[in-house]
Amino acid sequence: MSDKKPLVEMINICKHFAGLQALSNASLELFPGEVLGLLGHNGAGKSTLIKVLAGAHGADSGEIKISGESVEFENPNNARAYGIETIYQELALCGNLNASANLFMGRELTSFGFLRTKAMRVETQQALTKLSIKIKSLDVDVETMSGGQRQAISIGRAVHFDAKILIMDEPTAALGMEETKMVIELIQELKSTGIGIIWISHDIHDVYAFTDRIAIMNGGKNVITCATKDYTQDEIVSMIISGRALPKSQNSEVSEAN
């Protein structure tokens, strides 16, 4: 990764909520074309950190750079303008609207004040086809779709609006195995296009299987940031639980893999 310039640099971010220090000098780097797993106990500060990056929370102090440029985000639209898209498991889509209406929500195509429904439908079809996303019909409300299909539409939306940085907060927590597989395949395809992905998950198997690096947090602080395969799964779990960094794995299987 060191030969590439970081897409995202979050440096010494602090954030408190009414007497609670949620982030204490938390830092994070994300490179193009990588999946960074963001891990830690409940309350470790993962969501708060990515909400700062997504413009949903203002930080008390610290710096954010996007492709080397210092930025200050006052709202999610500021972050979107820099290609930062966030996907949440539950809040991703509006159930009572179809795929196209969801894809363009807040960014509708209009002409003389009228919605360009047909054009949005065509673009939606193109966006989904580009990522080999198959849904039954473009005309049904997304609440009739599976969790995986909804995730796929959210990913399609992010890509359509030119995401450079895709943040996924527990995206597969409520998905079945097949659906999780589909979302992971999509993510791998996006990786190859140079998008940087931050993946928050409690599923250590998924994290281990397909993240390039991991960042572990505890009590709002960084514990360690490392190549995933420098540690065994058990060692990663142990660092999450203890909140303490371990020396690089001595495990022979892991060492051979490098």
Ligand X SMILES: Nc1ncnc2c1ncn2[C@@H]1O[C@H](COP(=O)(O)OP(=O)(O)OP(=O)(O)O)[C@@H](O)[C@H]1O
Binding site for Mg ion (CB under 5 A): 47
Sheet holding 196-200, edge to edge: 84-88, 165-169, 196-200, 35-39, 213-218, 221-227
The footprint of ligand X on this chain (CB under 6 A) covers a number of residues equal to 11
Q: What is the dihedral angle through the alpha carbons of 16, 6, 243, 54, rounded to the nearest 10 degrees?
A: 30
CB of 90 to Mg ion, least distance (A): 12
For position 122 contacting ligand X by CB under 6 A, the verdict is no
Q: Which does 22 bind (CB under 5 to 8 A by kind): ligand X, Mg ion, none?
A: ligand X
For position 45 contacting ligand X by CB under 6 A, the verdict is yes
- The binder of ligand X chosen from 43, 62, 76, 243 (CB under 6 A): 43
CA distance 163 to 73: 16
3-state secondary structure 56-115: CCCCCEEEEEECCEEECCCCHHHHHHCCEEEEECCCCCCCCCEHHHHHCCCCCCEECCEE
DSSP state of 45: S
Cβ proximity to ligand X: between 47 and 149 the closer is 47
Cβ-closest position to Mg ion: 47
- The binder of ligand X chosen from 4, 5, 17, 132 (CB under 6 A): 17
Q: Which does 59 bind (CB under 5 to 8 A by kind): Mg ion, ligand X, none?
A: none
CA distance 240 to 214: 11
Q: Which does 40 bind (CB under 5 to 8 A by kind): Mg ion, ligand X, none?
A: ligand X
Q: Report the residue count for the chain.
A: 258
For position 243 contacting ligand X by CB under 6 A, the verdict is no
3-state secondary structure of 13: strand
Q: Which does 103 bind (CB under 5 to 8 A by kind): Mg ion, ligand X, none?
A: none
Give me the residues that bind ligand X (CB under 6 A), please: 17, 20, 22, 40, 42-48
